Chain A
Amino acid sequence: MSDDAVRSTTVYQRTVKDVLLGIWGSIARFFRLMARNRLGFVGFLIILFYFIVSFLGPLVMPVDNNTKVDRIFERPSWRHPLGMDHQGRDVLSQVVNGGRDILTTALLAALISTAIGITLGALASVIGGGVDNLLVMVADIFMAIPQIPLLVVLAGFVQVSSMALLALILAVLSWPGLFRAVRAQVLSLRERDYVEAAVLLDLGTGHIIFREILPNMMSYIAISFAFSMTGAIYSQTALVLLGLVPFSSQNWGVMISIAWTRGAIFYRDAAVYILAPVFTIAIFQLAMVWMTRSLEEVFNPRLRARA
C-alpha cells in the first residue's frame, strides 16, 4: 500500500475505544500522581468520599422527618449510629443530606471567584497601565475590608434567599486573593523564555495567556480553588450560625445552629447531635488542606523529582 493509504487508514482507526482508553489513562495517571504524597492522597480520598456521599447519599438515605417524642436525644446505637436529635429524628441521615447545599454553593462560589480572579489577573497584567492600577487598587480595597463583618452586614441588607446569590456574594468578596496571585505570576512569567519566544513568534495575546502562561499556573489555580472552597464553607457556615441565611434546607450549619439553640450543649447525650456536624465540617476543611499538598505535586512537575 502507498504511504498515504496507510496513513489514512491509521487515522480512521482511532475509535471511541481509544478515546475512552485515553481518558482512563489520564485518570489513572492523575490518581498515581496524587498518591505520591500520602497525606495529600488521604485528603483527596476523603474529599471524594464527601462528594459521593453528599450527592448520592440522599438517594439512599433520605431525611427522616417524623417526630418521635419518645426518642429525643437517644444515644448512638447500631441502627442509628449517630443517635437522635431533639425531635427524635435520626442524625446520621441528616448528616448525609446536609452536604449537598453546602458543597454546591462552595463549588459555585469557588468557580466564580476563580474565573473572575484569573480573568482580571491576566487582563491586568497583560494590558497594564491605568487598567492595571485601577484593578489593583480595587483589589486592595476589597482585601482591606474585614470579610466576615462585611458579609454579615451585606446579609443584613440583602435578603439572601438563593444558593446562587450567596455563591455570588461569596465569590465577589474572595476574588482579590487569586487576582493578585495570578497577576503576580503572569508578570513574572512574562519575562520567562518560553513566553518571550511565543511573543516573538507573534502567537497572539489570547494564545499566550491560555496556552503558555495558564498551564504553568495550574497548581496555583487548583490550590486557590481549593482554598476558595474552604473559605466559602467557612463563610457560609458562619452566616448560617448567625441566623442570616434562611433555614430553608438540610445543612450541616443548620444542624449546628438548631442543636445549639435546642440545648444540645446542656445534655451529655445530645453532644453527638451537635458534634457530628461540627466534626463533619472540620474534617472536610482538614482534608482540603491536605489535598492541596498532593495537588501541588500533581501540577508542578519540578516538585515530583524527589529521589
Chain B
Amino acid sequence: MRAVLSSYYVRQFGKALFTIVFVTSLIFFLIRLMPTNPIEKYVNDLMINEGRSREEALNEARNIFAIDLDAPMYMQYLDYVSKLAKGDLGMSLLSRGTPVADIIKTVLPWTVFSVGVSLLVSFIVGALLGTVIAYRRGSVLDPIVSALSSLLSAIPSYLQAILLIVVLGVTIKINGKSLVPITQMRGAYTPGIQPGFTWAFVKDAFFHAALPISVYILTTVGGWTLAMKSNTINTLGEDYVTVARARGLSDGRITTAYVGRNALLPLVSQLAISIGFAFGGSLLIETYFVYPGIGKRLGAAVTNRDYPVMQGIFLMITFVVIFSNLFADLLYSVLDPRIRVGGKGE
C-alpha cells in the first residue's frame, strides 16, 4: 500500500487535485469575503435600481452566482462545490440568461486551437533549431539565431502584437492596401462559412488564427531554441556520447537516441509552464487581434465586472493549466526512466 501511495503518479495527481480545490475555495472566499463583495453589490443594485425585494434579488443572485447568500457559510460552500461538480458555473451578468458554462464552451476551443498549434510548432521548430545550432557552434548561424531568440523572448507578447498590427497593418501600405489584411482577420472564421471539418473551413480558421498564432510562436520559439541549444551542448559533452562513438554507432543514431532524447527531456517539463504562460498572454493578444477566445472573453468580463463569467473562466483556465502540468509531468516520467521509481535508483 505504501508503495502505491508513494508512487510518483499518485503524488502528482494528488497535488493537482489539491491545487484545484485550493483555487476553487480561493475564488469562493474572494467573492464572499472581499470588502467590495460583488454579490452584495449586485443584490443592492437590483433592489435599488429595479425595486426588487431582497428575496427576489437574492434568488436572482443565487441563480447567477451559483451561491446562496443567506445560508450559513459551510452550506454555501458545499452548495458551490456541488454545483461546480455538476458543471454549473452560474449565469452571466452581462448576457442575462446565458449560463457561464455555455459561454466557455463557445470560446475555449478557439484558444485551445490557437495556443495548441502555436505550442506544437514553436516547440518543434525551437528544438530542431536549437539542435542545429548546438552542432554548428562556430558558424555564422549561432550568434544570429541566439541574438534573435533572446530579442524575441524579451519583448512582451502583447507589445509584439501591437507592433505587428501597427507596422504590418497600418504603416506599410502597398497601393493603398495594408500588407496584411488585419481587419479581415478578425474573428475566428469568416461569417458565412459553415463550421465543420471541411477543408474550406479549416483553411479559413487558420487564416483567422494566423496573427495570434504568429505572435505566440514568435514570443516562445526563442526560448525553446536557446534551451535546446544549451541542453544539447551539455549532452554532447557527456561520457556516453563519446562511448557511443567508440562503439561504432552511426551519427544518426547518436543524434537522435543519445543526444536528442536526453537533451529534449528537460524541455518537456518546461512545456507545462509554457501552457500557463500562453493562456496568460492570450488575454491581451486575443483582445488586440479580436479573436474570440477565452482570453478575450475574460478580459471583457473583467472590464465589465461580470463576476460569474470571471470566476468561471478563471476556474476553467486554472483547471486546464493544472491538468496540462500533470500531463506533462506524467509524460516526463514516462520518457525518463530515472524518475519512475519515485526516487533515486539502486
Contact = CB atoms under 8 A, between A and B. Distances in A.
A42 interface: no
A135 B152 CA distance: 34
A145 interface: yes
A156 interface: yes
B298 A285 contact: no
B151 A274 contact: no
Contact of A256 (B27, B162, B281): B162
Contacts of B310: 153, 156
B170 A150 contact: no
Interface in B265-319: 273, 276-277, 279-281, 283-284, 287, 298-299, 301-303, 305, 307, 310-311, 313-314, 317-318
Interface stretch (B15-23, B58-66, B206-214): B15-23
B159 A282 contact: yes
Contact of B162 (A148, A149, A278, A286): A278
A64 interface: no
B322 interface: yes
A153 B170 contact: no
B162 A147 contact: no
A172 interface: no
A149 B158 contact: no
B279 A149 contact: yes
Nearest to B165: A265
A281 B19 contact: no
A278 B284 contact: no
B314 A237 contact: no
B298 A149 contact: yes
B303 A242 contact: yes
Interface string A271-307: 1001100100110011011100000000000000000
Contacts, number: 132
Given A141-B19, A152-B298, A146 B276 contact: yes
Interface stretch (B30-38, B74-82, B193-201): B30-38
A242 B284 contact: yes
A238 B158 contact: yes
Contact of A149 (B30, B156, B166, B280): B280
A244 interface: yes
Contacts of B163: 275, 278
Given A140-B15, A152-B298, A286 B155 contact: yes
A137 B14 CA distance: 12
Interface residues of B, number: 54
Contacts of A243: 303
Contacts of A51: none
A241 interface: yes
A285 B317 CA distance: 27
A152 B19 CA distance: 19
A271 B151 CA distance: 22
A242 B299 contact: yes
A67 interface: no
A234 interface: yes
B131 interface: no
B19 A148 contact: no
Contact of B154 (A149, A157, A286): A286
A274 B166 contact: yes
A230 to B, nearest CB: 8
A157 B38 contact: yes
A19 interface: no
Nearest to B170: A265
Taking chain A's interface residues, is the majority helix, strand, or loop, or is none over half, making it mixed? Answer: helix
Contacts of B38: 157
A5 interface: no
Contacts of A265: 165-166, 169-170
Interface in B134-174: 150-151, 153-156, 158-159, 162-163, 165-167, 169-171, 173
A141 to B, nearest CB: 5
B34 A146 contact: no
B225 to A, nearest CB: 15
B205 interface: no
A265 B171 CA distance: 9
Contacts of B19: 140-141, 144-145
Given A145-B321, A278-B162, A153 B151 contact: no
B325 interface: yes
Contacts of A145: 19, 23, 276, 318, 321-322
Given A149-B279, A260-B162, 8 more contacts: A145-B23, A147-B280, A153-B310, A153-B314, A158-B36, A256-B162, A265-B165, A282-B156
24 contacts: A140-B19, A144-B322, A147-B276, A147-B277, A148-B281, A149-B279, A149-B283, A149-B314, A153-B302, A153-B314, A156-B307, A157-B36, A234-B156, A237-B158, A238-B158, A241-B158, A242-B299, A242-B302, A244-B302, A244-B303, A256-B159, A282-B155, A282-B159, A290-B150
Interface of A: 137, 140-141, 143-150, 152-159, 230, 234, 237-238, 241-244, 256, 260, 264-268, 271, 274-275, 278, 281-282, 285-286, 288-290
The 7 closest A-B CB pairs, nearest first, are: A148-B280, A146-B276, A282-B155, A156-B302, A289-B154, A286-B154, A285-B154
Interface of B: 15-16, 18-19, 22-23, 27, 30-31, 34, 36, 38, 150-151, 153-156, 158-159, 162-163, 165-167, 169-171, 173, 273, 276-277, 279-281, 283-284, 287, 298-299, 301-303, 305, 307, 310-311, 313-314, 317-318, 321-322, 325
